[in-house]
Structure 1
């Protein structure tokens, strides 16, 4: 009997999963990611890679792999002049996602092209999600290498990380997918909780992975990248007290001190300029309540209590109007 069969030999659960990868100028890292996917213990049903106007050797590398593996499909977009974070990345994601019928897949994934995943990554995530049907989105933890050491990117357990968002398709459709703004990868996880779903990441060697380009460095430099995080937190609706606590927590995480200061400056600059915030006022109130509970009781307890409190509204078959 195989591990995916039950004692009464019932059929194994369906594990058809889709990968969608927006990328631009990733020649330096692409082969590492491509190789880590083609060597997975359970292969994707389809992998759509959206080349978002690359000027380096990325298109040639993608063609090489697409010619070899029939389940890899490349979608090419025109050059729009520069790497555009936030909304631009999600625009590219949807350029691939909109070419398929999501109902053909059990899981859908937004996957970056600068990761090195362990061989059993997707198989392990599917097994955990099969064991808990309330899990909407899940991931391992990202680490990067510096001076020969693996350094955690310090992502909370209550979020599925943005560089590899592995979603149950039904949940992805129910939350309305990704918003096309900075902090899309935080809004989606909180949106899951508003509907009774669970978003989670685990710090486990089975599913931890190497982020070849550390978070916050993909556009220009550390300072710009971390400022962008502050802009995004303000847009999402994060309160100032929570932002101060978050910056304090990250103060001794590389780049020491300066990374936290850049995040805080990005947030404060947005606040002083009265930049627009995410338009769902009820969502922002939900977020603030959760963040205050995190400050008062700790994030682990606050998340556990919220997930328990939201269980009664979880309805995986519910139809949500398009947002």
Structure 2
């Protein structure tokens, strides 16, 4: 097994504009994945044609197509990802392909040619590193708006797991916000998780905007309810969004986020059936955030 061998999975739906740019980024990596599985979630545009063209040129790129369904950023998205991972694991087993890392990348992402090699260098520096990503910038009105940097939270846009961490955290779970759940489980089990500011990736659209940011952030609120966020946590997060200077506040996404959460909270909708995730968001996460803010202020003084 090569210490720099990895597999990659991408879900996509109606990405005829973004997918060619992503494909160019992956094909031009200094260290290419031994297998890249792209799962077409029932696209109705030119995405299938683009996938046929890509896979015909590169034998290490495979595509799957699911039945047409409306775009869904809830549990359905984790099913799409899981389909890709299951296919990749089975393909590697049947073809005696071994790998050290497991990666995921969204269809609207682009990055420099050394993106994954740079992430691997961080794993080599820190043997306890379980999950990592670069820092994402979103293109808004033809400008790159960099997301708030949190070194302790890897982005879901383009990330790598060490294989041992992926297995230790129960793989890619069928849940809302699977990347967040994976982050929590890795932390609980003692792995380091990191986002690296010096390693960059670009999203070709604003965050959660595939079907409009209002709908996207409302769904984010629904998903955060499902994995156990408390009302206090959501109100603080929503208010911060409303007064943010990162280019999103003018769209009222903080309000959409709060509405999405409390629409589920008021009706007592079901939550994730995972006590360690629920306990983390109920007892630990808000405390971590407040301690981090206090520490940051004391450093500035």
Instruction: Flag whether TM exceeds 0.5 (same fold).
Output: yes
- Answering whether residue 249 of structure 2 is matched by residue 256 of structure 1, we say yes
Aligned match for 2:209, one of 209, 213, 217: 217
Deviation at 1:76, TM superposition (A): 2.0
Return the alpha-carbon distance in structure 1 between the equivalents of residues 230 and 248 of structure 2.
Answer: 24
Deviation readout 1:54-97 (Å, 9 max, x if unpaired):
11111111111111111111122222x31122322221222222
Structure-2 residue corresponding to 1:282: 276
1:96 is matched with which residue: 69, 75, 84?
Answer: 84
Q: Mind listing any 5+ residue stretches in structure 2 that lack a counterpart?
A: 297-301
- 1:131-166 Cα distance to aligned partner (Å, 9 max, x none): 112111110111112234220232532222122231
Shift of 1:13: 6.2
Q: For structure 1, which runs of at least 5 residues remain unmatched after alignment? A: 1-11, 303-323
Aligned to 1:318: none
**Maintained 8 Å contact 1:129/1:135:** yes
Report how far residue 231 of structure 1 moved: 0.9
Identify the residue that residue 217 of structure 2 maps to in structure 1: 226
Question: TM-score if structure 1 supplies the norm length?
Answer: 0.83
* Structure 1 residue aligned with 2:61: 72
Question: Could you state the TM-score of these two structures normalised by the residue count of structure 2?
Answer: 0.89
Q: Using the TM superposition, give the Cα deviation of residue 295 of structure 1 relative to its aligned residue in structure 2, in angstroms.
A: 4.2
Q: Verify: 1:21 aligned to 2:18, yes or no.
A: no
Deviation at 1:255, TM superposition (A): 2.7
* Greater share of residues in helix: 2
Aligned length: 287
1:185 CA displacement: 1.8
CA-atom RMSD, angstroms?
Answer: 2.1
What is the alpha-carbon distance in structure 1 between the residues aligned to residue 13 and residue 161 of structure 2? 23
* 1:271 CA displacement: 0.9
**Aligned residue for 1:87?**
75
Q: Kindly tell me: are residues 122 and 295 of structure 1, through their superposed partners in 2, closer, same or farther at Cα, counting changes over 3 Å?
A: closer
State the distance in 1 between where 2:119 and 2:73 align: 27
How far is the alpha carbon of 1:300 from its aligned partner? 9.0
Aligned to 1:315: none
2: distance between equivalents of 1:217 and 1:145?
A: 11
Q: Secondary structure at the match of 1:31?
A: helix
Alignment of 1:201-212 (within 5 A): 201-204=195-198, 207-212=199-204
1:247 matched to 2:238: yes
SS of residue in 2 equivalent to 1:276: coil
- Runs of 4+ in structure 1 off by over 4 angstroms are 299-302
Q: 1:226 and 1:294, CA in 2 relative to 1: closer, same or farther beyond 3 A?
A: same
**Residues 201 and 40 of structure 1, relative CA distance in 2, 3 Å threshold:** same
Aligned partner of 1:34 in structure 2 is: 23
